[in-house]
Each structure stands twice: as structure tokens, then as C-alpha cells.
Structure 1
Amino acid sequence: MAASPCAGTRIAGLGAYRPVTVVSNEAAAQKAGVTAEWISTRVGVEERRHAGEAETVVAMAVAAAKEALAEAGPAAGGVDVVLLATCSMPSPMPNGAASVAAVLGCTAAAAFDINSACSGFCHALAVADSLIRAGTARGVLVIGSERMTDWVSPKDRNTGPIFADGAAAALVVPSAEPMIFPVAWGSDGSQADLIAISRASGHMEMTGRKVFRWTTSALATVMRAACERAGLDPGDLRAFVPHQANLRIVEALRQSLAAPDLVTATDLVSAGNTCAASVPLALHALRERGEVSSGDPVLLFGFGAGLSYAAQVVLCP
């Protein structure tokens, strides 16, 4: 589809998919050799969703994308690009985005995966914004979809009770005014081994304490930079939607913004850590509960394996 540069972009529709199976803390704790109280106190999760056999990364992505497209309605136009943020495909080839595009009938769309783990959706949203502003595309589907339960051991207390499955999607389209503001992002590959897939076990391993220290000490400036690039102070925001890693991390980041009236997403309490899907799932949940409204400025912030991070202010669709 021919396109031309535009002044800005916006999210025209949001969609989400949460697997059917709900796993309680009691069930997760039994496998991990801890107590349910240990999980809720240390992490903040009370229950999580685990995908069934048919709920693949692609299938969940398609379900979320269909909802986003339906909400956008006529604004959807055509989809030129499908971006799938995921780190949990069962194999590196074929990519998941092409399969998603095929199922959706976007047969001519460019389609590729973005693996920035837990910051993947925010990275993909920034790419979508740039593609449309440059005139390369007119409609970009940005999807975060994960089956983290395929990559963690339920016996590992550091990962098994925490990570979960799900998907969420956003349709990004041109706008006369910017509604997705410039991203503040980066990485620290010198610490990439803190979250990695073990060659020995084939499972994800995480050094939780060091990740906690990095997140709570190094990333406050990133969030403030994103606000500055949007021309806002943290106090001007309606909501803060960080990656749903750990309630203690979420609270520490919220406090560093020094904006006590911020609505702060805590989706992990009922959804667990869904990696690249966590930020859009949390935004979708806030909107479903009426805690944010169309046009509200919201700070999205993804961070995790890599170590990578990305933050941007968006106006809620």
C-alpha cells in the first residue's frame, strides 16, 4: 500500500487474549517447593493463566489482533505490517508474525518478530510509529504474545510461579497529531546473562536480586526521559503501565516518578509475568475497568532480558 510521511500516529484499537486455565498460588507453590504466601509476598502474584495445547503463541496473537482490528473498525483500513513481539516461539523458524498475518488474511503485509523479551511490545510500538511517520506503512499491527510456560521449569522458584501466558495487540495508524510520543530506550548487554535460557536445562534462568537492583536503580531516568520527550511531567500522566515483573519493582518504579496520584497497573496479581504481552495486557485491563479513558496520557515501560528497556507516553485509545 502506498503511503506518505505523516505528523503522528495513534493506537486505533486494542485487543487481548488470556488463556482459559487459571492456576492458583497453591498449585504453583506445590510444584516450586514454596508456599502460596511466599509467592504473594515476594512477587505479588495471586494467580496466573497457563496456555493449553491449542493456545499457541500464534493462536493467541491472532485472537488478540482480531479484537484490536474489530475495535478500530473503519479506522483499520489496511494492515501493511505485522510485528510480533515474542521470545517464546517454539523454534526460531518460521517467524510467528508471518503465520499471524496469513491467518488474519494480511497476505501482502510485511511480517517479522521482535525479540526484546519483556520490553518487546514497547520496542515494536516504537518501530510501528517510525514506519508510519516515515511513510513506509499506513497500518501496523503490534502484538505481544507469549507462552512463557514452555520455557520455565515449574520447579524453579525464581521463574516457575512467576511467568505465565497471554497476548495483547494494538493497531497503529496515522494521526494528524502525535498520540504515540518518542521512545526512550536502550540496553545493557554487559548484564545479559542475568536472564537467559540455560543450554544445560533448556529452561529460562534468572538472577532475581540483581535484576531487581538494576531495574530499581538504573531505569528511573529512562521513564523521565520518555515524559520529557512527550512534553509532560510525570504528574501530568493519568496512568503508569510498567512491565508486570514483580509488585515490589512496580511500586519502586512508581515511587521514583514522584507522582502519587498515578493510576498504576498491577495486572500481574491475576495474570503473572507474561513478558512481551504484559504491558499491553495491563493497559487493556485498566481500560476495561474504566481506570483510564480515551485520550488519557499513559506511560508504558518495558524492561527485562537483554538487558533491554523502552518507554513511551501514549494517549489511551
Structure 2
Amino acid sequence: MSGSRITALGHHQPARVLTNTELEGMVDTSDAWIRQRTGIAARRIAGAQESVTDLASKAAAKALAASGREPAEIGLVTVATCTAVDRCPSIAAQVAARLGIPAAVCYDLNNGCAGFCTALACADHSVRAGAARHALAIGAEKMSDVTDLTDRSTCVLLGDGAGAAVISATGQDGAGIGPVVWGSDPTRGHAVRLVDAWQPRFAQEGQAVYRWATGELPAAAREACDRAGIKPADLAGVVTHQANLRIVESLVRQLGLCEDAAIARDVVDSGNTSAASVPLALSKLVEGGELPTGAPVLLFAFGGGLSWAGQVVTCP
């Protein structure tokens, strides 16, 4: 068995920016109310003709180009999403077709907001086991398709986007992607959900999710560091699911990070993009030079299910 590491990242967001001020004309809300409760200032919204496949393909194409790998070298493509309309062929298969990837195993994965970290772990395991030398793990969501504009507590949260990572084999066991910490509490799965299967709408019990995320999940995040053999104070950065700025800041505050650690706060400009939020935010931090190559970064995602997944990775 070999190790694996993330060798390249890419992200894509729709061009349209939906601000809080615009939302004031659509629902009974205000910019001050939204910022105080969520920290969100704006979100990106895909057009009617932009699909989850479109978002995923553009992010994946950027990651593949940055990796320097040929499409034929990719042996696995997995897309984490809970907003796919197409069931067969999978979004992953459609992405492979668009990128000219000829013979990879392709599948979609639905683990809600924890989807990308779950997909990353699955790709890591496949590469370690020798099933593929290079893989694409993608998180892509069109949350605007499931936004309930009659629910002012949730409609202000959601945005669209995608992020992708190329994972490649290394000659060293354990190099680059640390052991995953993952799990779920299905007895509380109703707290974050999509209701009405044929016309799905996002719904959640906000206070219950906040208490769960800030009260129970810091221990799981610390466990991911322990399994990777690193102390939280030695992390160069943390990228959590961008659910809500209050949740993000409460969770990372409990980890005991060093003062100059980079903290992803992409939720302010992108909203909650579910499974896309971690790779989207990570790609932006790397692109902006806020995380140096080789630096240890904690990825930690949580949400619908209720589920969670996280691991420490080496920054590409």
C-alpha cells in the first residue's frame, strides 16, 4: 500500500452574486439580521441552465490542469453532492466524459455537507489500496434549486459552487492525507434535511444544529489531529464546512490554534454551499497564498445526516 496526497485544487462559482440587500426585496429579512445570525454578506447563484454537472466539471477541469496529469491517468472520479437531479449516468460519469477521462470508475456520493471530506477519504483509500494511482474528488452543489423562499431562516444561507482535488499516489505510506475521522448520528438526521423527494427543499433545526456542531464536534476535530500525529497548535490552517460564521468561529476557537493559523471564512461571500464548501474554501486559500505548500491543514465537514468527516492534509 502506498500513501496519497492532494496534488492540485480547483474551484468554480457562478457569476451572479446575490446580496443581502437583494434578499430584502424577496423575503421578510434584512442585511443586519442576516449578518448578525449567520455572518453571510452574499452568495453565488447559478443560472437556470447551469447544472451541478456544469459546476463540477469546471472546478475539476481547473484541478486537473493544475495537476499536470493527463485525463487518461485518472482512475477514479467521485462527486459529493446532495442536489444532483440526474441519477444515471452519475454526475461523476458526466464530468469524466466532459474532461475526456476514458476509463475511470465514476460514482456520486451523498453524505450531505460532510460529502467532500467523505469522498476525499474514499479516494485516499482507493489510491492506498492500489485501485487507482490518480483520482478526482469533487464537491458540487446547486443549493438554489432546493432553497425555500418562504423560510427566511434558511433561504438566506444557501449558495452554489464547486471545488475539486486531484489525489495522487506517493511512495510513502501515510504521506499527505491523514486518517479520516467520520461518523453519523442518524437518530438526529431530521435536524438537517431535504424534504419532499420530488420537489426537495432544504430545512433544518438551526438551534439544534448549532448546539451539536459547537458542543460535540470539536472533540472529533481534535481526534483527526491526534490520528495524524499533529497538535492543533501546529496546524497552518483549518477549513471547516462553511455552515454559518458563528459555528465556524466557535468550533475553531475551541481547538487551540496558533494565532497566525489561516481560518476559512468563505461563508461570508459564498454562503453555505453544502458539500462544495470545504474544497471551495480550501482552493481559495491556496490560490490566495494564505496556505504554503507542504503546510498541515485540518479539513472538517459536518451536516445532514447528522454526519461528520475530517482529516489533516498536506497543502499542495
Counterpart CA distance in 1 for 2:193 and 2:247 is 20
Counterpart CA distance in 1 for 2:187 and 2:162 is 29
The Cα of 1:76 is off from its aligned counterpart by 7.3
Mapping 1:108-123, distance limit 5 Å: 108-123=103-118
**For residue 216 of structure 1, what is the amino acid of its counterpart?**
T
SS at match of 1:101: helix
Counterpart CA distance in 2 for 1:113 and 1:218 is 28
User: What TM-score results when the alignment is normalised by the length of structure 2?
Assistant: 0.95
Residue in 1 aligned with 2:298?
299
**Aligned CA-pair RMSD:** 1.4
User: Where does the alignment leave 5 or more consecutive residues of structure 1 unmatched?
Assistant: none
**For residue 265 of structure 2, what is the amino acid of its counterpart?**
T
**For residue 179 of structure 1, what is the amino acid of its counterpart?**
G
Q: Deviations over 1:183-230 (max 9, x none)?
A: 011000000011112229731111111000011111111111100111
Residue in 1 aligned with 2:122?
127
- Kindly report structure 1 stretches of 4+ aligned residues shifted beyond 3 Å: 74-77, 91-94
Q: Does 1:243 align with 2:237?
A: no
Mapping 1:37-116, distance limit 5 Å: 37-74=32-69, 78-116=73-111
Q: Deviations over 1:48-98 (max 9, x none)?
A: 100012321001111111100111114877011100000001243432111
CA contact (8 A) 2:72 2:100 kept: no
SS at match of 2:162: strand
User: What TM-score results when the alignment is normalised by the length of structure 1?
Assistant: 0.95
SS at match of 2:7: strand
CA contact (8 A) 1:80 1:110 kept: yes
Residue in 2 aligned with 1:229?
227
- Count of aligned pairs between the two proteins: 312
SS at match of 1:287: helix
Residue in 2 aligned with 1:220?
218
Counterpart CA distance in 2 for 1:202 and 1:30 is 24
CA contact (8 A) 2:71 2:100 kept: no
Residue in 1 aligned with 2:309?
310
Q: Does 1:186 align with 2:171?
A: no
**For residue 220 of structure 2, what is the amino acid of its counterpart?**
V
User: Where does the alignment leave 5 or more consecutive residues of structure 2 unmatched?
Assistant: none
> Do the aligned partners of residues 76 and 11 (structure 1) sit closer, same or farther apart at CA in structure 2, a change above 3 Å counting?
farther
Q: Does 1:15 align with 2:14?
A: no
- Counterpart among 231, 250, 253 of residue 251 in structure 2: 253
Identity of aligned residues (%): 45
**For residue 268 of structure 1, what is the amino acid of its counterpart?**
V
Counterpart CA distance in 1 for 2:166 and 2:142 is 22
The Cα of 1:10 is off from its aligned counterpart by 0.8
